[in-house]
Amino acid sequence: MVRVAVVGCGAIGGWLAARLAANGVEVSVLARGATLARLQQQGLSLEEGGRLQTFRPAASDEPAQLGLHELVVLAVKGHHLAGAAPVAAALLAPGGKVLTAMNGVPWWFFADRALQSVDPGGTVRTLIPSERVLGAVVHASCQTPAPGHIRHVMGQGWLIGDAAQPGSASEAAVVALLCAAGFDAKAEPDIRAAIWYKLWGNATTNPISALCGVTTDRILDDPLVCATTDACMHELATIGARIGCPIPHSPADRHAITRKLGAFKTSMLQDREAGRPLELDALLAAPREIGAQVGVATPMLDALHGLTRLATMSTAPKPTPAAQSRG
């Protein structure tokens, strides 16, 4: 039987670990701090479908204590990747795969080069090369009311793809594993295009929601703000066309889907409200870097990145007297 390790027991990682454990899969969780304490003392709790269940996967902050695994799931925020990658590599059995359940552009997105915005110096790429990776696009929403306590909100969708070898046996095995656990999992022949399509919407509504402190319905209700999202989405679509990830729909098509969510809080808004760092590099810095590589100007993405970054800085230097005097 396949052994699965989950690195990052947050909303999505914890949800996955709990559902796999419920289906009898041998699951280990690499966690730290309050989350590790909760897992070791009380177990992992999942609130879903009107039921509250508790599971006790093996949990540690030391990879050596958990052993080697055929599948290692990286479900961390982008700014934690540099620290999580060595751990994931240490947990990976020979011939095993790393499944990335992360937002935005991943480090392995291009087979021939590193992206400095998400993997400075190509360090992660050296530890976990693209041929050892399966990509995932998650269409679901979960929350963490407390460390080690997961609340499923909506969605069951997982798209799984092997970027190096589409249709591989590893891809099929992971799809089967997730389906057996009750997820709506499907093989995706072009996982890069699927990642870019999700980014096309997330790279706009997520930062704007965090910047303005509003739910997605209010973003779409304001004509000026909605026009700003459209302009950013046009830039992303132009980049996508240059890199083989065309967007087959219009911003209005995407907005119609978002409308169905109602007053929805994006993950980035939830992070800002909780005082957590935001995933700006994977969602905005990376597409801007790619745009520069393929000759696409991104003035709207540049502005959105700069404004969100400035607004969410935990500390800022006090202005000098000279700066205070300027109009």
pLDDT digits (tens, 9 = 90+) for 10-31: 999 999 999 999 999 999 999 9
- Provide the mean pLDDT of the chain: 93
Q: Is residue 139 within 8 Å of 152, Cβ to Cβ?
A: no
pLDDT score, position 146 = 94
**For 196-209, how does the pLDDT look when each residue is reduced to its tens digit (9 = 90+)?**
999 999 999 999 99
DSSP letter, residue 223: H
Positions marked catalytic? 198
97-101, 170-174, 256-260, 285-289 — which is least confidently predicted?
A: 256-260
pLDDT score, position 100 = 98
* Phi–psi pair at 137, nearest 5 degrees: -120, 120
120-129, 266-275, 286-295 — which is least confidently predicted?
A: 266-275
Is the model's pLDDT at 319 over the cut of 70? no
Torsion angle defined by CA atoms of residues 89, 1, 53 and 174, in that order, rounded to the nearest 10 degrees: 60
pLDDT score, position 318 = 41
pLDDT score, position 316 = 40
Would you tell me how many other CB atoms lie within 10 Å of the CB of residue 198?
A: 15
Going by C-alpha positions, the residue among 26, 32, 5, 177 that lies closest to residue 91 is: 5
Give the whole-angstrom CA distance, residue 107 versus residue 189: 19
- Radius of gyration for the alpha carbons in the chain, expressed in angstroms and rounded: 20
Going by C-alpha positions, the residue among 56, 58, 1, 321 that lies closest to residue 176 is: 1
Q: Is residue 325 within 8 Å of 143, Cβ to Cβ?
A: no
**For 65-119, how does the pLDDT look when each residue is reduced to its tens digit (9 = 90+)?**
999 999 999 999 998 999 999 999 999 999 999 999 999 999 999 988 889 999 9
Q: What would the two tokens of residue 288 be?
A: 């801007």
Q: Is residue 142 within 8 Å of 151, Cβ to Cβ?
A: yes
Residues 6+ apart with CB under 8 A from 78: 102, 103, 104, 118, 279, 281, 282, 283
Give me the amino acid identity at 117.
S
Q: If pLDDT is split at 50, 70 and 90, which confidence band does 313 have?
A: confident
The upper half-sphere exposure of residue 50, i.e. CA atoms within 13 Å in the direction of its Cβ, equals 0
* Phi–psi pair at 235, nearest 5 degrees: -65, -45
Which residue is associated with the tokens 């502005």?
303
65-74, 224-233, 267-276 — which is least confidently predicted?
A: 267-276
Residues 6+ apart with CB under 8 A from 147: 33, 34, 35, 37, 38
Domains, the chain, ordered by start:
3-188 (3.40.50.720), 193-311 (1.10.1040.10)
